[in-house]
Amino acid sequence: MVLETEVAGIKLRNPLILASGILGNTPALLKRVEEAGAGAVTTKTILPRPTRGFSNPVVVELPFGIINAMGLPNPGIDYFERELREARGEIGIPVIGSAGGGSPEEVAHVAGRLQDAGADAVEINASCPHVRGHGFELGSTPEMLYDLVKEVRRSVKVPLIVKLSPMTHDIRGLGRAALEAGADALNAVNTIRAMYIDVEAMRPVLSNRFGGLSGPAIRPIAVRCVYELADLCDVIGTGGVESWRDAAEMILAGAKAVGIGTAVSRRG
């Protein structure tokens, strides 16, 4: 069976990609994912400066998925650039660097340094739903997303992927704006803003109150978004994939590759 595929000109030995998220914040973890058989790995979203993230509790596990409000904890681009540069030769599959920040200029700065450290592609996190001033707040409209992608495109020459939010009435409008600004591919989708309340304690469980819902609950939404975008460009289908059937569903919807995140964090 031929499993090789290609996304934005990047050749993959198979269509399975570690999605940016709870894992992937150290090169050692990225190497372990390669050894487990992934076709490519995506780093956790890297920011300009070190960030501790939110205080515990930051994750709620539910029967249908998880809600996380990690707060984008990461070592910052100075540290991560050195680590990735040193480890890049040991990772034999494509590395996608996820870039974030509090402004288009910050995201562009991080993206350029991820490229310089050896990332084969850069993914813009334009869709994190629970950190103020980041992610979704920078790309919630086609106009905002266009400006963000345009700024990042000036900083990188490697393939540029934009991770979209499903929290929109017009996913195609967002996709078209990203592509017009210079994106090469789209990733559909990020988590959905959600809340879980402990009825005994009578308060939200997460310290941040809101978090991002991922896992099987969002798969039908992700499949629909992939289907709506697939005729525009190469699409990575992400959201609730836990089995080969789920992956096949994404591919049948039009995805060229499949992102897996929550299933890895839950099952290892």
Would you say residue 17 has pLDDT above 60?
A: yes
pLDDT tens-digit series, residues 148-197: 999 999 999 999 999 999 999 999 999 999 999 999 999 999 999 999 99
Q: How far apart are the first and last CA of the chain?
A: 25
Least trusted range by pLDDT, from 17-26, 126-135, 163-172: 17-26
**Amino acid sitting at position 72:** L
C-beta separation of 216 from 240 below 8 A: yes
What is the distance between the alpha carbons of residues 268 and 265, in angstroms, rounded to a whole number? 6
How many residues in the chain? Answer: 268
Note the pLDDT of residue 35: 93
168 Cβ contact partners less than 8 Å away, ≥ 6 residues apart: 140, 174
Over residues 199-204, mean pLDDT: 98
Catalytic residues: 128
20-43-15-112 Cα dihedral, nearest 10 degrees: 110
DSSP secondary structure letters along 52-120: --PPSP-EEEETTEEEE-----B--HHHHHHHHHHHGGG--S-EEEEE--SSHHHHHHHHHHHHHTT-S
What is the distance between the alpha carbons of residues 230 and 237, in angstroms, rounded to a whole number? 10
DSSP 8-state symbol, 229 = H
Tokens 């850069």 appear where? Answer: 122
Chain-centroid distance, C-alpha 157:
19
* Segment holding 247, helix H or strand E: helix 244-253
What is the distance between the alpha carbons of residues 77 and 248, in angstroms, rounded to a whole number? 35
- 3-class state of residue 22 by DSSP: coil
Q: How does the average pLDDT of the chain come out, rounded? A: 95
What is the distance between the alpha carbons of residues 59 and 77, in angstroms, rounded to a whole number? 25
Tokens standing for residue 58 = 């930051």
pTM for the model: 0.96
Please report the domains of the chain, with CATH numbers, ordered by start residue.
5-267 (3.20.20.70)
